[in-house]
Amino acid sequence: MVHIKRLQEDGADIISVIGEIDASSSIELDLAIAKSVGEGFKKILVDCSALEYISSAGLGVFMSYIEELKDKNIPMVLFGMKEKVLNTFSILGLAELLHIVPTKPEAKKLADELSV
Amino acid sequence: MSYQYNIGCSLSNLKGIREFVRSSLKDQQVPEIEMSAIVLALDEMCSNLMIHAHHCNPDHMLELHIDIPATGKLIFEIVDDGSLFNINDFHEPELGNLVHQKRKGGLGIRLVKAIMDSVEYLKRDEKNVCRLIKVIK
């Protein structure tokens, strides 16, 4: 069960992911990122501080946007991830393909740098 | 110690599987990072079976067995009577190709193979048994 909230801060769309993402709920994350892109946001920050679990279905959603966001020059930065969740990204080397930082200020800074 | 959990092939039951695995292992002093990885691997195997072998039919059942012998390893078995889905026959595409093709799938099997020490298949009482072994250091 996952709950997703979106709010906007300094021109960035912040997607907060709360709970667990598995094969039954990954569509919610997919829709939230698709909306953010569709609404024309130029920076996407994903707040993972309340994300308790992610399976490959959720990893796959993030992975599937890497090329599209690169083509559209939209940086997406994930932040606040718990160690056990970060480990899931790291097992497959996905942590190196995505932008993941510890805190929101660092996420904002990186998104600013990447969008120049 | 051994534990068993029978569950219908609905993706909404994955949370129950994760809770069953975690509660069965709670006295094994498995470090949290390793525990989370084991829970993830079982979630991935069960969701794969539910989707590919049972088309998410909630009337189809999976049996999940956990056997904890006193030998420093954990044995997990998933028993079903669907079509055999052997992850050892599955060729994983390069991660770079998945990214390039904007694909969402293809990661679960990689995770299971990375987390578990062995994945083997056998037949018992006309049913498919997928046995996953994790060595606890």
CA B98 to chain centre: 22
pLDDT at residue B104, as a whole number: 87
Of B43, B50, B95, the CB nearest to A93: B95
| Predicted local confidence at residue B89, as pLDDT | 86
Question: What percent of chain B has pLDDT above 90?
Answer: 75
Task: Please name the helix (run of DSSP H) or strand (run of DSSP E) that holds residue B33, with its range, or none.
Answer: helix B32-48
Tell me the per-residue pLDDT of B15-74, one tens digit each, with 9 for 90 and over.
999 999 999 999 998 999 999 999 999 999 999 999 999 999 999 999 999 999 887 899
The answer to whether the CB atoms of A91 and B15 lie below 8 A apart is no
Token pair 């979106």 in the structure block, residue: A6
Q: Flag if A84 and B33 touch (Cβ within 8 Å).
A: yes
Residue from A20, A26, A37, A55 to probe the interface with B (highest B Cβ count within 10 Å)? A55
Count how many domains chain A has: 1
Contacts of B50 in chain A (CB under 8 A): 23
The predicted structure's pLDDT at residue A116: 76
Closest residue in A to B104 (Cα) is: A60
In residues, how long is chain A? Answer: 116
Which chain B residues are Cβ-neighbours of A60 within 8 angstroms? Answer: 103-107
Q: Residue A105 is part of which domain span?
A: 2-114
Give the domain ranges of chain B: 2-135
| Superfamily name and number for B2-135 | Histidine kinase-like ATPase, C-terminal domain (3.30.565.10)
Residue-wise pLDDT tens for chain A (116 aa)?
899 999 999 999 999 999 999 999 999 999 999 999 999 999 999 999 999 999 999 999 999 999 999 999 999 999 999 999 999 999 989 999 999 999 999 999 999 999 87
End-to-end CA distance of chain A: 36
For chain A, percent helix, then strand, then coil, each to nearest 5?
A: 45, 30, 25
> Which SS3 state, helix, strand or coil, does residue B55 take?
coil
The ipTM of this complex is 0.91
The DSSP H or E segment spanning A77 is strand A76-79
| Mean of pLDDT over chain B | 93
Q: Do A88 and B36 touch (CB under 8 A)?
A: yes
Instruction: List the one residue out of B82, B83, B86 whose CA is nearest residue B130.
Output: B86
Write phi, then psi, for B62 (nearest 5 degrees): -115, 145
**C-beta separation of B24 from B18 below 8 A:** no
Chain B residues in contact with A34 by the CB 8 A cut-off are none
Report the distance separating Cα A113 and Cα B35, nearest Å.
37
- In three-state form (DSSP H/G/I as H, E/B as E, the rest C), the secondary structure along B58-125 is CCCEEEEEEECCCCCEEEEEEEECCCCCCHHHCCCCCHHHHHHCCCCCCCHHHHHHHHCCEEEEEEEC
Q: Is A2 helix (H, G, I), strand (E, B) or coil?
A: strand
| pLDDT over 70 percentage in chain B | 100
Considering only CB atoms, B107 lies closest to which of A20, A53, A60, namely A60
CATH number, domain with residue A32: 3.30.750.24
